[in-house]
Amino acid sequence: MPREIITVQVGQCGNQIGCRFWEMALNEHAAYNAKARYDEALSSFFQNVDARRDPPVNVPVGDPIRALKARAVVVDMEEGVTNELLTGPMRDVFDSKQFITGQSGSGNNWACGSHHYGPMYRESLLEQVRRPVEEADSLQSFMLLHSLGGGTGSGLGSYLLAALADEYPDVYRFSVSVFPSDDDDVVTSPYNAMLSCAALAEHADCVLPVENQALMDIVQSIEAKSKNASPFGGRSGGVLSGSSLSGVDGGDVAGRAGHGGKPWDGMNGIAANLLLNLTAGMRFDGALNVDINEITMNLVPFPRLHFLLSSMSPVVTPADRGMTVPAPRTLDQIFSEVFSTDRQLASVDPRRNTYMACALLMRGAVNISDANRNVERLKRGLKMAHWVSDGFKVGLCDRAPVNSLYSATCLANNCAMQKPLSAICERFHKLRRKKVFLHHYTEYMDVEDIDGAAASIGSLAEEYARVDASRAPDAVPSIAPLGFR
Ligand SMILES: Nc1nc2c(ncn2[C@@H]2O[C@H](COP(=O)(O)OP(=O)(O)O)[C@@H](O)[C@H]2O)c(=O)[nH]1
Ligand SMILES: [Mg+2]
């Protein structure tokens, strides 16, 4: 069974989420790997290297753990975050050879990231990818972590995705793509988000959109609940004081504190947790193991409609930095919660729109009859496309998130996706009509390509709307027999 995943983290946001992800992945495996042996589960994300040898050699599955190295490629056009990675708590899982960095950044300009740095760094990027590809026995997919609002993650991330499609057409490409919020502080984010969405529609097999607004809302609601739960007004309630989710003081890789800005670390922890839950089925045993390629095959009936909405319950793991986030009480509740608006990682209510397909990835003490019973119960409240006969893919993985009894992660191919796409188009057109910032982009690319990308995203939103509106054709009217006189 194909099993390795190579993570490609690009730009500031991609590297921040990446860093949280590696930390949480190590925690999870440490909790379950009692014998300190390098097992199949670990091998999905990590190589085991004997660094005492020169050059270092790979240690096979079954042997003791020597040094775990992330199967990752780390890219940024500024040095700040990547330097922090190399010197911070995660430094041992990275190796400077995995890094590609520039000095001056992409100026929050998709076109600079894609059309300037892309060709300039093409060879070194591909060389950097080639190494972990060769180290893998049976590579399953590339996982791109990036934001759409800036210049490097969005532009160079888009370029790299297209290059991976060229070089490794058989390896799945999926992305966790952070959509900017309406109040985003990057003034050019409407251009960047629109241009990267067009590239994701073309070059990714599967995109998991994560909206910063939704992440912030979740973090704030956890914070509010923890305050209410505390008789002392919030410090000792559910969320520990000083933790990132409290929004007090978290700080992250680059030392950006949550206070006064966004609670980045808490937000990134949610995105990182999504990745852990999504890949649990391929890392650990279970009664119904689903890997991410299967998800794509089952959930994407039309190739361009591959943006899957995600939701989770519980939304963060209690083990994450010692936080005690109140978990829902019963198994049935966690099934219900993943369909509610406040657990969506995009600000939409999928229950109002049509589902083309849905995957429920359960972790922990959940059996197939629990899953079937809940699917039957919940399905009644959902609009399924008329041509879908079943539409639910269930995964059961034995290993719960650390310190939880169980968890649910839902991926939905749902027509509510038209809303974030239309919003991106609208924000772009507002600037484009007045030609604001346009010259920054035409410095690197033709205006026709910019408008072409906007038309492509507009038509993608319309495709979702069309599926949403489509109804089963009426039964063919029977022609009354004329009869004989
Ligand atoms: N969720 C999240 N979003 C971020 C983070 N850092 C930046 N962003 C968002 O990413 C966009 C800016 O992109 P950034 O990754 O900083 O630019 P890049 O380095 O040029 O790729 C804006 O929409 C920011 O709100 C982060 O750590 N977490
Ligand atoms: Mg940057």
Q: What's the pLDDT at 295?
A: 85
Q: What's the pLDDT at 476?
A: 63
Ligand index nearest the alpha carbon of residue 103: 2
Q: Dihedral of CA 314/319/325/330: which sign?
A: positive
pLDDT over 80 (residue 478): no
Pocket of ligand 1 (CB under 6 A): 11-13, 16, 106, 108, 147, 149-153, 178, 180, 184, 186, 189, 212, 215, 264, 267-268
Q: What's the pLDDT at 293?
A: 82
The residue nearest atom 8 of ligand 1, judged by CA position, is 13
CA quadruple 60, 167, 196, 142: dihedral, nearest 10: -20
Q: What's the pLDDT at 245?
A: 35
pLDDT tens, residue by residue, 48-75: 999 888 888 899 999 999 999 999 999 9
Instruction: For residue 149, give Cα distances in angstroms to 104, 113, 184, 188, 324.
Output: 17, 12, 8, 8, 32
Give the residue-averaged pLDDT of 277-299: 88
Contact 319, 327 (CB under 8 A): no
The residue nearest atom 16 of ligand 1, judged by CA position, is 12
Q: What's the pLDDT at 17?
A: 96
CA quadruple 252, 256, 259, 264: dihedral, nearest 10: -50
Instruction: For residue 405, give Cα distances in angstroms to 329, 364, 397, 398.
Output: 10, 6, 12, 10
User: To the nearest whole percent, how much of the chain has pLDDT over 70?
Assistant: 88
Q: What's the pLDDT at 52?
A: 85
Instruction: For residue 268, give Cα distances in angstroms to 111, 198, 204, 288, 435.
Output: 26, 24, 22, 28, 34
Distance of alpha carbon 419 from alpha carbon 8, whole angstroms: 28
Q: Which residue has the higher pLDDT, 290 or 134?
A: 134
The strand pairing partners of 7, in sequence order, are 72, 143
pLDDT over 50 (residue 355): yes
Q: How far is the CA of 470 from the centre of ligand 2 (A)?
A: 42
pLDDT tens, residue by residue, 291-341: 888 888 899 999 999 999 999 998 876 555 555 556 667 999 999 999 999
Domain 4-418, CATH: 3.40.50.1440
